[in-house]
Amino acid sequence: MNTVDYLRISLIDRCNFRCSYCMPEDAEFDYIQSQEMLTNDELISLLREVFMPLGFRKFRLTGGEPLLRKGVVDLVKEISALSDSEDLAITTNAYLLGGMARSLYDAGLRRINISLDSLDRDIFRQITGRNHWEKVWQGILAAHEVGFDPLKLNVVVIPGVNDREVLDLAALSIDRAWHVRFIEFMPIGNPELFEHKGWVDSATLREQIKARYGLLESTCKGNGPADVFQIPGAKGTLGFISQMSECFCDRCNRVRLSADGWLRPCLLNESGQIDLKTALRNRQGYAEIRLQVKELLHLKSEINFKERDRGTGNINTYQRTMSQIGG
Ligand code: SAM
Ligand code: SF4
């Protein structure tokens, strides 16, 4: 069985962007009420008393937009200070990053993933629903200057929207040690757009990039689901996350905790989730909660494999979007 030691933590389900593939402008969401969200103290207790004793060492803060969470810098500081926290990262849209990059770094954060689907301001606005390209770019440069390493840029390619920019986006990995990661569009969040536009598989993207720049398998492999390549001579790398065209369930090392405390064993499957917030608030002992989580980890590989086809084949089975699950 694969070791599961990576927890993705959604700090908030709200977002200041409205990416068409994730939280389309006209979608209605039942946002989590503030009293239903795990507090910083509850989250730290779960990490220290439940996840770390079970061997979890890697943590990613995500959302929604995690930088909208009040007290996020303090939370980063607290998690970094936990003795078993070996690897803390964040995924952000970078809108607030320009003003926060330094304090996040000083609080102990080193790894950052930033969503950047376009270098064209109009297409960026079309995708994100916001005219904020400049501010996002400034956020990326601020993170670079402060010294975040690795600095990864996440790109979701949508046919007929930003697919003409694949070469330009890939070229961002040449002069700086930036790691551009192409994520296949999934039918979560906006199944209508998915059905209408479809998706591009990683192999097709690699062919395009190879024809223009050449492409080598990279020697620096990550420990996640990305297949890592490199343009010859580039300082950074290109990652391809191919959850639609490939099944990498057998390499999956992660589970997800939502902002309201539901622990989810598989992104593409809604069964098996457990409600850790209620357990905490009902004063169930940590030993008992640990046991529940341990049992879930035991079942995880079965859940991954058994439900994947149903999950990707029937888009209506998803109740929560990436922003709600913690993408
Ligand atoms: N707001 C932050 C951001 O955009 O980076 C963090 C949360 S966002 C849900 C995390 C990642 O999920 C982003 O890189 C986004 O592109 C990706 N994502 C969201 N919806 C997706 C979808 N339907 N298919 C593939 N990736 C998706
Ligand atoms: Fe917000 Fe990130 Fe979803 Fe875009 S992808 S709407 S920035 S949560």
**Which band of pLDDT confidence, cut at 50, 70 and 90, is reported for residue 311?**
very low
Q: What percent of the chain has pLDDT over 90?
A: 74
Nearest atom, ligand 1, residue 184 CA: 25
Instruction: Give residue 278's identity as a one-letter amino acid code.
Output: T
**Residue whose CA lies nearest to ligand 1 atom number 5:** 92
For a ligand 1 pocket test, name from 12, 91, 199 the mutation site with the most ligand atoms within 8 angstroms of its C-beta: 91
pLDDT at 319: 60
Which pTM does this prediction carry?
0.94
Nearest to 208 by CA among 151, 169, 156: 169
Whether residue 264 contacts residue 255, with contact meaning beta carbons closer than 8 Å, is answered with yes
Query: For residue 306, is pLDDT > 60?
Result: no
pLDDT at 310: 45
pLDDT at 214: 98
Query: For residue 320, is pLDDT > 70?
Result: no
Ligand 1 center to 141 CA (angstroms)? 20
pLDDT tens digit string along 130-157?
A: 999 999 999 999 999 999 999 999 999 9
Residue 238 is encoded by which pair of tokens?
């290109």
For residue 8, give the H/E element and its range: strand 6-10
- Per DSSP, which regions of 67-202 are E strands? 87-92, 111-115, 151-156, 178-183
pLDDT at 266: 87
Query: How far apart are the C-alpha atoms of 279 and 289, rounded to whole Å?
Result: 7
Query: How far apart are the C-alpha atoms of 323 and 317, rounded to whole Å?
Result: 16
Ligand 1 center to 39 CA (angstroms)? 23
